Amino acid sequence: MADDCIFCKIVAGDIPGRTVYETDEVLAFLDANPLSAGHTLVVPKEHAERLDDLSGAEASELFAAVHELTPRVESAVDADAVTVGINDGSAAGQEVPHVHVHLVPRFEGDGGGPIHAVAGERPDLSDDELDDIADDIAE
């Protein structure tokens, strides 16, 4: 548990959360400031700030919970879809430095956008640049 981490405190039961799912490794609870009805956060119980700080096993447990919960959340609020996302790092909008997956129920005509709406200006990349980036990621 990390000092002053709000999600560690929810995991520990020191501050209240509306828990919707729990395993030995993962907890899910409703977001306190929901973007839509049913907005749920899925967190590893062990404190980790970024995705890269999770072990492979922890990441698998986290995604297994996301896989299990996404249809449950969708049907609980009678949504049409779910946006699943992680703000991984402050430049991506992460405000709580404890890994969390957002499950945001979506409704036809809700006025929201796709994941593509989150980034800023699109880069104009040449084929060579795209090849280099792909190589760097694949290495």
Rule CB under 5 A: choose which of 30, 36, 47, 86 binds Zn ion.
Answer: 47
Select the span of 55-63, 80-88, 95-103, 116-124 touching Zn ion (CB under 5 A).
95-103
**What is the Cα gyration radius of the chain?**
17
Our finding on whether 94 is near ligand 5GP (CB under 6 A) is yes
Our finding on whether 54 is near Zn ion (CB under 5 A) is no
Q: Do the Cβ atoms of 82 and 103 come closer than 8 Å?
A: yes
Our finding on whether 93 is near ligand 5GP (CB under 6 A) is yes
Our finding on whether 12 is near ligand 5GP (CB under 6 A) is no
Our finding on whether 33 is near ligand 5GP (CB under 6 A) is yes
Q: Which residues contact 97 (CB under 8 A, 6 or more apart)?
A: 5, 49
d(CA 21, CA 73): 11
Our finding on whether 6 is near ligand 5GP (CB under 6 A) is yes
Distant-in-sequence contacts of 7-12, Cβ < 8 A, 24+ apart? 7/41, 7/43, 7/47, 7/96, 7/98, 7/100, 8/47, 8/98, 10/43, 11/43, 11/45
Residues 109-128 vs ligand 5GP: string with x where CB under 6 A?
Answer: --------------------
Our finding on whether 53 is near ligand 5GP (CB under 6 A) is no
Q: Shortest approach of ligand 5GP to residue 99 CB, angstroms?
A: 10
d(CA 40, CA 73): 8
**Is 67 one of the catalytic residues?**
no
Give the interface with ligand 5GP as residue ranges (CB under 6 A).
6, 17, 29-33, 41, 87, 93-96
Q: Which residues are marked as active site?
A: 100
